[in-house]
A = this chain, B = another copy of it.
Amino acid sequence: MTFQYLRDPSGRPAWDGVLPGRPEPFFLDRGEGEHANLFGDLFTLLLSGAETQGQFGVFTSTCPSGDIIPTHSHAGTHEVFYVLDGAVRLFVQDESGRQRTRVLRTGDFGFVPAGLPHAYRVEEAAQLLGVVSGGFERFPQRMGTPTDHAGAQPPYVPPIPDLLAAARELDVELLPGFGWDGV
């Protein structure tokens, strides 16, 4: 159960309007941005396609140890994983079907081009910085739930129909049962 909207009768999160929504300059202090919970992760959107003429979006995610993002792909979205803190094992399958994996630690970098199956598992509590093709960056809000809290919170597990609807909307293909036998 979430109470974050009780403060504002309009039901809008307090961060609404923090991003300008058009290409104009702005600054954010550490932790500021549009927050959303999805499973065990706290996502904070720093920049959206609305500010970059659709080119790219930027967000951070704070992830507990043991967290798993299951295998999926997104046909139109390139995705960057830059580790700000902690350790994350990234899995990706390239176009030839070759599977690769690497544990990424602070300062390490991974790139997953559009359309390739990928997943990750948080090996040590981590903070990631993500860069994605413009338009995809609000997936945590669409799949998860907005929140005004930047701190640790209980996991938010979306109802399956909501998750599937968000995946269709975002052109995300969920790949349950996908095997990582090659790594």
Contact = CB atoms under 8 A, between A and B. Distances in A.
B58 A80 contact: yes
Interface stretch (A47-55, A154-162, A163-171, A172-180): A47-55
B55 A102 contact: no
Interface residues of A, number: 46
B108 A82 contact: no
Given A29-B108, A47-B111, 12 more contacts: A23-B78, A25-B94, A25-B110, A25-B112, A30-B106, A30-B108, A46-B109, A47-B109, A51-B111, A55-B56, A55-B133, A56-B131
6 contacts: A23-B113, A23-B114, A28-B108, A51-B113, A56-B131, A58-B109
